[in-house]
A and B are shown apart, each in its own frame.
Chain A
Amino acid sequence: MSDERLVGIVLVSHSAEVAASVAELAKGLAGGGPAVPVAPAGGTESGGLGTSAELIAAAAASVDRGAGVAVLTDLGSAVLTVKALLAEGDELPEQTRLVDAPFVEGAVAAVVTAATGADLAAVESAAAEAYTYRKV
């Protein structure tokens, strides 16, 4: 099976290291299935803590295979920047969605689900469901 139709995942964090590490973690836990396109968009363009609209737009374009793009964020400006870009209408691929999910657990659920060839709605709901998994 080719990865042509897999949903793409973008992980937006204030920290480049956090975004990259969560991407590695999610891909690692997804196992040996088809390679889900996952791109981190962490920190500012100058390498500091913060959010970069340019990095987010580039990451989304890089994972777009025509099946939609699920964007997961940490907090604050990461959330607001993605929302502002979605409101703009032309800076992110068509069928890009901000997914309301916990960052780490949601990323794992999203990548594992996307690897099955699930559509964007299924990826979104799997990631959002991670909120309901209680640890104690």
Chain B
Amino acid sequence: MLDAHFFRRWMTATAASVDREAERLTALDSPIGDADHGSNLQRGFTAVTAALEKEAPGTPGGVLTLAGRQLISTVGGASGPLYGTLLRRTGKALGDAAEVSPEQLAEALRAGVDAVRTLGGAAPGDKTMIDALVPAVDALGDSFTAARTAAEEGAVATTPLQARKGRASYLGERSIGHQDPGATSAALLVAGLAEAAGE
């Protein structure tokens, strides 16, 4: 079973990898975006870890709801409401339980991903974070490691796609040949899950 500590480890591990990869995320965001993805997420996850430290929510749902709220408040770019909605909706789906099973987490994450799809209007193949998140949630039934691999493969597979959402979509065919920064950071989030599980 997964308790609040597991979910805090997930957020802390993600914050650390976003820190490590911030320059790469911003570099990926330079040719097809507005070159702020790394720094925006870094600011957001720094606020997440600070808030978790201060408020120390005692349930998995509480951890994710607080984290999502922080991301919406502090990121300043589109990734804030998108990741914020993902975590907050996942947290709400987990409710007040003190511990949840990996199966419950998978189900809640699916609700979170659905909320992101509703918010941003993106479908698989649009060259967005959805292209990493959907295969990850599908693989979560097997293991956290399988989800991590699926997310990383999903992110890499955005390279030949033409962007159909967000600022990159204005570039049309010129968006082809670049890995999507949002799918790349989504893979970091999923990798954080595997790390929290010690896999």
Contact = CB atoms under 8 A, between A and B. Distances in A.
Interface of A: 44, 48-54, 76-77, 80-81, 83-85, 87-88
A87 B77 contact: no
Nearest to A85: B72
Interface of chain A, helix or strand or loop or mixed?
helix
B104 interface: no
25 contacts: A50-B36, A50-B76, A51-B76, A53-B72, A53-B73, A53-B81, A54-B73, A76-B77, A76-B78, A76-B166, A77-B76, A77-B80, A77-B81, A80-B78, A80-B119, A81-B80, A83-B81, A83-B119, A84-B84, A84-B85, A84-B119, A85-B72, A87-B85, A87-B119, A88-B69
B76 A84 contact: no
B120 interface: yes
Contact of A48 (B69, B76, B78, B84): B76
Nearest to B89: A87
Interface of B: 34, 36, 40, 69, 72-73, 76-82, 84-85, 88, 115, 119-120, 166-167
Contacts of A53: 72-73, 80-81
Contact of A80 (B34, B69, B120): B120
Contacts, number: 50
A44 B81 CA distance: 14
B77 A51 contact: yes
Contacts of A80: 78, 80-82, 119-120
A81 to B, nearest CB: 5
A84 B72 contact: yes
Contacts of A81: 72, 80-81
Contacts of A87: 85, 115, 119
Contacts of B85: 84, 87
A50 B77 contact: yes
Given A53-B80, A53-B81, A88-B88, 10 more contacts: A48-B76, A49-B34, A50-B36, A51-B80, A54-B73, A76-B166, A80-B120, A81-B72, A84-B72, A84-B85
A88 B71 CA distance: 13
B78, B166, B167, most chain A CB atoms within 10 A: B78
A77 B78 contact: yes
Nearest to A83: B119
A7 B34 CA distance: 35
B66 to A, nearest CB: 13
A80 B115 CA distance: 12
